Structure formats: C-alpha cells, structure tokens
Amino acid sequence: MKSRKVIITCAVTGSIHTPSMSPHLPVTAEEIAEAAVGAAEAGAAIVHLHARNPVDGRPDQSPEAFAPFLRSIKSRSDVVVNLTTGGSPYMSVEERVRPAAVFKPEVASLNMGSMNFGLFPMLKRFKTFKHEWEPRMLENSRDLVFRNSFKDITYALNTLNETNTRYEFECYDTSHLYNLHYFWQEGLVKAPLFIQTVFGLLGGIGPHPEDVLHMKRTADRLFGDSYRWSVLGAGKSQMPLAAMSAAMGGNVRVGLEDSLWAGAGRLAASNAEQVSQARTIVEGLGLEIATPDEARQILSLKGRANVAF
C-alpha cells in the first residue's frame, strides 16, 4: 500500500514580519533565492514568494524586484514557484497582482475575502527597530482592513486565468470558503482547488483545534473531493497545526512569512529549518513528502516550462 503524499509549502519571507524581528529573515534577492532553494532541498515542494526592498526590507511588489530571484531559483531547483498576489495589505489589488501577471507562475496566492488585519500585537514583543517604517506599519494596522472585495478577486482571476496559473486560495475565516464556493459555482475557478486555511492571525479565525475542524468540515461540505486541503498556523501555532493537518489528510505550509520561530523563544535559523521540522512530523506519521513533480500532478499544474521567467 502506497503512503499518502503530503505537500509542504514554504512561505519564504512575506510582508508581515520586518527585518528587525529576525536576522534570519531573507531580504535581498540573493537571500530570498538562497532561502527558497534551501527550503526545496529540505523538502518543500512549493515555495511561496514575496519581494522586499534590499535596502530597508520594505515589501516591494514591483516585477523588477522579483525577477532576479525567480531566475536564480528556476536555474537551481525544480521547486514549484508560487507568487503572492497578497503583497502587502497597504497595496492596491492592481499592484499586488502585477508580478504574477508578468511572470505567469504555476501557482499564485489569492486571498478570498476582506478582513481586519491586526499586526499591532507584535509591538509588545519587539521594541527596537532598524527602520522607521516598521513600527509605523504595525501601529497603523489597528485601523487596517485588508481589502479583497468581490471586484478585487474577480480582477485577479480575470487577469491570471488567461495565463493558466492556478491558485493557493488563502482562507482566513469561514466566509472566505463561501466566497470561494461562489467563484467556483460561477466557473471562474476550477478543481482541484488548493485551499490554504489560515489560523491564528488577529482578524481571522483562531488557532484552536476546533477552529481547524470547523474549517475542514465546512470545506468538505462545500467542495467534496474537488479540493486539496492545506493548513497554515501563524506564530507558535505553526507546527502543532501542521501536525494536525498532516494527521487529518491535509498538506502543510511553514516558513518565516508565517512564523519566525523554531521552538519556544528560539528563532528559526532558516526557512529550511522549519521545513525540516515539518518533514519530521510528516514522516513520523508514516507519510511521505511530495516532490515538486508530485505536487504538480496532485494540483494539476501547468509545469515549469510554461512560466514566464
């Protein structure tokens, strides 16, 4: 009997954490490429990528910021590349979608609804910052609504469907699953749907195991066998929820975008360290990690030869 394959996604740098929070957060194109390749070598089938200004680490959604590390990663690894359309909550949808529209990746993330996006609790943990934008960005999130309206989502789908890019549908609450179901019924998205349920970010659903079960039951009812499930636990919830997902038949997402930690009070030295931890969990359950090509088959991706980088 063959073991079930578990897809590990690694979110390499993101836009939520700032360079002052961890010396291990990749910022430059070279650092992002090294982190992505290292994560792939550790067992990630997919790398989820943001870009940053190399000088001050500010999120940068210009295609020019993505190009250097995309070329480097593709030349060194067969890992599936997943480009963010989330970018930063402070950006317009047109700005956020642009890199995926230009580079036509195999996968692009897509947030499935608007939500409060509370980053300000991190000000209690982190007191010293290198750049003036960092504490201001966190403080401003007290009044931040991350806009992902039906119009915005439709714009992203109409733009990217033409490229045959598929999606990592990021669902931060139950309503986001219903929003995705609407777009599925309308024929704007196609199965198999890769649904990334997100737990533990202030403004979205919490990280309690009952929250995970509720999202899974809802997705099962709405999508049946037409979706592939994955779990993202923010912060200290990362590994416990990865274990829960893998045990329940799901896939997992880890990485420094979602959590800076490798244990209680211990910063992860790299994305690869978190991927290795997730791999240990998966294999400890008697399961196997999916290779990039196996992930392509599971998610019905177009293949690395059909991207524009």
pLDDT tens for 95-104 read 999 999 999 9
At 252, which amino acid appears?
V
What pLDDT, on the 0 to 100 scale, is given for residue 1? Answer: 57
Q: How many structural domains compose the chain?
A: 1
* DSSP string for 3-55: PPEEPEEEE-S-SSS-GGG-TTS--SHHHHHHHHHHHHHHT-SEEEE--B-TT
Mean pLDDT across the stretch 52-77? 98
Would you tell me how many other CB atoms lie within 10 Å of the CB of residue 120? 17
* Contact (CB, 8 A) for 15 and 58: no
Question: Under DSSP, is residue 195 helix (H, G, I), strand (E, B) or coil?
Answer: strand
- Chain segment 247-257, per-residue pLDDT in tens: 999 999 999 99
- Chain segment 277-306, per-residue pLDDT in tens: 999 999 999 999 999 999 999 999 999 999
| Residue 262 DSSP code | E
Question: Under DSSP, is residue 96 helix (H, G, I), strand (E, B) or coil?
Answer: helix
- Chain segment 158-193, per-residue pLDDT in tens: 999 999 999 999 999 999 999 999 999 999 999 999
What pLDDT, on the 0 to 100 scale, is given for residue 173? Answer: 98
- Chain segment 66-76, per-residue pLDDT in tens: 999 999 999 99
Could you give the CA distance from residue 142 to residue 139 in angstroms, rounded to a whole number? 6
- Chain segment 86-125, per-residue pLDDT in tens: 999 999 999 999 999 999 999 999 999 999 999 999 999 9
What pLDDT, on the 0 to 100 scale, is given for residue 253? Answer: 99
Would you tell me how many other CB atoms lie within 10 Å of the CB of residue 263? 11
Give the range of the structural domain holding residue 285, as residue numbers without chain letter. 5-306
Confidence class for position 3, pLDDT limits 50, 70, 90: confident
Cα torsion angle, 163, 11, 145, 58, sign: negative
What pLDDT, on the 0 to 100 scale, is given for residue 25? Answer: 98
Where are any strands of DSSP class E within the chain?
5-6, 8-11, 46-49, 80-83, 107-111, 115-116, 145-146, 166-171, 193-199, 227-233, 251-254, 261-263, 266-267, 288-289
Check which CATH number belongs to the domain holding 298 and give it: 3.20.20.70
List, in order, residues 6 or more apart from 78 with CB less than 8 Å away: 40, 292, 293, 304
Could you give the CA distance from residue 11 to residue 84 in angstroms, rounded to a whole number? 10
Q: If you average pLDDT over every residue of the chain, what do you get?
A: 97
Q: Which helix (H) or strand (E) holds 89?
A: none
Facing residues of 111 across strands?
Answer: 170
C-alpha closest to that of 86 among 107, 108, 101: 108
